[in-house]
Amino acid sequence: MSMAAAYDRAITIFSPDGRIYQVEYAFEAVRRGWTTLGLKTKTSAIIAAEKRKITSLHDERSIQKIFKIDDHVGASYAGMAGDGRILIDYAIQKALIHRFYYDEPIPIEYLAKLVCDVKQIYTQHAGVRPFGVSIIFAGIDERGPQVYMTEPSGRYVGYYATAIGEKSSSVLEFFEKNYKHDLEVDDSLKLAIEAVGLILESKPYENFIEVGYVDVYDRKFKILSLNEVKKYVDELISEGKLKP
């Protein structure tokens, strides 16, 4: 048995160099997931996600990658779908409880913290494993548009723009070159759709991109319909930013 193999058999054992291998394996599950991104501008907070056709008989329209958590916030994940589903349900429950108790929408950072509290617990108890999923929350609260990404370790960080999943490095490189904070809503949506479109392996683009957003004007989280995504895709193609 190798030294690494001995230390990766339990979640409660640190390796001599201070690593917990099971948590690192959970990060690897996220890195292998379908690419998901989040960005915020002065007018909106947006989530966009890649969808894939797993087999020729798979109806890609049945796949849901973006979820409405409350009226003002949505979320998406990359990694193990089962873990993501459970944590999304937990976030919905916490958002509803907060609204019931305090008669106000839950702050986005606090929602991310509650989910990360659960994730962190699963990194320090025997007989359990870490959640193999990262979740991006995008919403609007009293601080304006907010984007937070949660990690399998229980850490969360706010971002102007971020990406998780298999091709996240390509999306982050695109954002570093093209992101601007002072974009209006339509331009923000086009930027998010362009970022996902550039990494897609299948067409038509609109069948494999899911987008949700909330803006500062009506502060309601919405998931774009297929036709709405297609409208932005057609504009990007006409501008030469996506290949026909």
pLDDT digits (tens, 9 = 90+) for 50-94: 998 778 787 777 889 999 999 999 999 999 999 999 999 999 999
- Token readout for 26 is 């959970």
Do the beta carbons of residue 37 and residue 196 sit within 8 Å? yes
Q: Residue 243 domain-assigned?
A: no
pLDDT digit string (tens) for 157-208? 999 999 999 999 999 999 999 999 999 999 999 999 999 999 998 889 999 9
Q: Residue 188 domain-assigned?
A: yes
- Token readout for 200 is 């897609």
Q: Residue 36 domain-assigned?
A: yes
pLDDT digit string (tens) for 8-60? 777 888 888 888 999 999 999 999 999 999 999 999 999 999 998 778 787 77
Number of domains making up the chain:
1
Report pTM.
0.94
Q: Does the N-terminal peptide bond of residue 244 adopt cis geometry, omega within 30 degrees of 0?
A: no
- Token readout for 190 is 């086009």
Longest Cα–Cα distance of the chain, Å, equals 60
Q: Residue 239 domain-assigned?
A: no
Beta-carbon contacts of 23 under 8 Å, excluding residues fewer than 6 positions away, are 11, 123, 130, 152, 153
Cross-strand bridge partners of residue 216 = none
Q: Residue 3 domain-assigned?
A: no
Q: Residue 7 domain-assigned?
A: no
- Evaluate if residue 2 carries a pLDDT over 70: no
Give CA–CA dist 211/226, Å, rounded. Answer: 9
The CATH number of residue 117's host domain is 3.60.20.10
Quick one: how far is CA 161 from the chain centroid?
11
Q: Residue 148 domain-assigned?
A: yes
Q: Residue 96 domain-assigned?
A: yes
Of the candidates 201, 200, 197, the one whose C-alpha atom is nearest the C-alpha of residue 232 is 197
Quick one: how far is CA 149 from the chain centroid?
7
Q: Which domain holds residue 170?
A: 29-233
